[in-house]
Structure 1
Amino acid sequence: MAEKKWLLDFQGVQIARHEHILFEHLDLQVAAGEFVYLTGPVGAGKSTLLKTISAEVPLTKGKANVMGFDLSRIKSKELPKLRRRLGIVFQNFQLLPDQTVHDNLDIVL
């Protein structure tokens, strides 16, 4: 059987915000076609994990690869390329009221 190709591969990852460690020794693999649901109370780190996947919040330890991008070595000029390949909509996303839904999406894309 062929080895799975991971779109997301976190190995021993630590994610911290300020002095608070939110994730430690996180191992997470997601293959194409898989669905993952993040649940938890406010402040548990759901949004921070998504921001780490999009390289907005750096990992403090471990190895992370997202769609072929090594998050520990990604250069700032590569960030737009990574983020164009991701589909993340955060809970505080605001539509522009004077634009259609299509126009709002066109701005982001």
Structure 2
Amino acid sequence: MIGNSIIKLQHVDVFQQKHLVLSDVNLHIDKGDFVWLIGQTGSGKSSLLKIIYGDLVIQNGEGHAGGYSLAKIATRDIPFLRRKLGIVFQDFQLLTDRTVEQNLHFVMKATGWKDKAEITKRTQDVLEKVGLRSKIKKMPHELSGGEQQRVVIARALINEPEIILADEPTGNLDPDTSEDIITLLKQISQGGTAVLVATHDYHIIRTFPSRIIKCEGGKVLEDAEI
């Protein structure tokens, strides 16, 4: 971690293949921050997230996330970087043939958990945190969209990440459920885990005012307004 920054980008150019998407990006996110990431479709939001979680390589500039240099990180270290980042997508990506509990266990085993008692306790803890302790044996299709997204957030919390990156986490949800999910993410940030939410939903940004990062015209504006 650089100072108190969990994520720090300095003079980073973001490329998709050979196309320059964002230039001279300077960005910092500190412990416990709650930050909105906005911008029109194609403005570079997803590319910026991909730089942070190691899916795109930094070619120019310097970047640090979760204690790793994003310009120098070895391919074999990317899974370890991602354990320090909880990633939440719009389209849940739950395993439909497994229960809530089994979905979490799958991720835990894939990230090195071995002790059965610890796996059971951590599963219960994260489901308690997202208000789904009673749904532990349910299949995804037995849950509402909001409940499925809560499972995804629980999954992202498994390895106690320093930051959650949420890409359109309310995109498939109705307004009331969206507010519930953002309230939950706000609570998580108040517990010390930073949260970065990419969204098109300006109503929800006005409902939960916070710092805004905006992708526009090939640039990243660090303290923007809607």
Both structures adopt the same fold (TM-score exceeding 0.5): yes
The match for 2:93 is 94
Q: Which has the larger radius of gyration?
A: 2
The match for 2:19 is 20
The match for 2:52 is 53
The match for 2:61 is 62
What displacement does 1:107 show? Answer: 2.2
The match for 2:142 is none
The residue type paired with residue 4 of structure 2 is K
What displacement does 1:4 show? Answer: 4.4
SS in 1 for 2:36: coil
Identity, in percent, stands at: 38
How many angstroms apart in 2 are the aligned matches of 1:51 and 1:93?
A: 18
Answer 1 or 2: which has greater helix percent: 2
Segment drifting more, 31-40 vs 3-12: 3-12
What displacement does 1:77 show? Answer: 1.9
What displacement does 1:91 show? Answer: 2.5
TM-score w.r.t. length of structure 1:
0.86
The residue type paired with residue 100 of structure 1 is T
How many angstroms apart in 1 are the aligned matches of 2:39 and 2:100?
A: 29
What displacement does 1:16 show? Answer: 0.8
Deviations 1:42-96 (A, max 9, x none): 2222111111101111122100011210111111221111111101122244222
How many angstroms apart in 2 are the aligned matches of 1:41 and 1:102?
A: 36
SS in 2 for 1:58: coil
Q: Point out where structure 1 has 5 or more consecutive residues left out of the alignment.
A: none
The match for 1:83 is 82
Q: Is the 8 A contact 1:8 1:30 kept in 2?
A: yes
Number of residue pairs matched by the alignment? 107
SS in 2 for 1:99: coil
SS in 2 for 1:79: helix
The residue type paired with residue 9 of structure 1 is K
The residue type paired with residue 61 of structure 1 is N
What displacement does 1:41 show? Answer: 1.8
The residue type paired with residue 38 of structure 1 is L
SS in 1 for 2:86: coil
How many angstroms apart in 1 are the aligned matches of 2:81 and 2:99?
A: 26
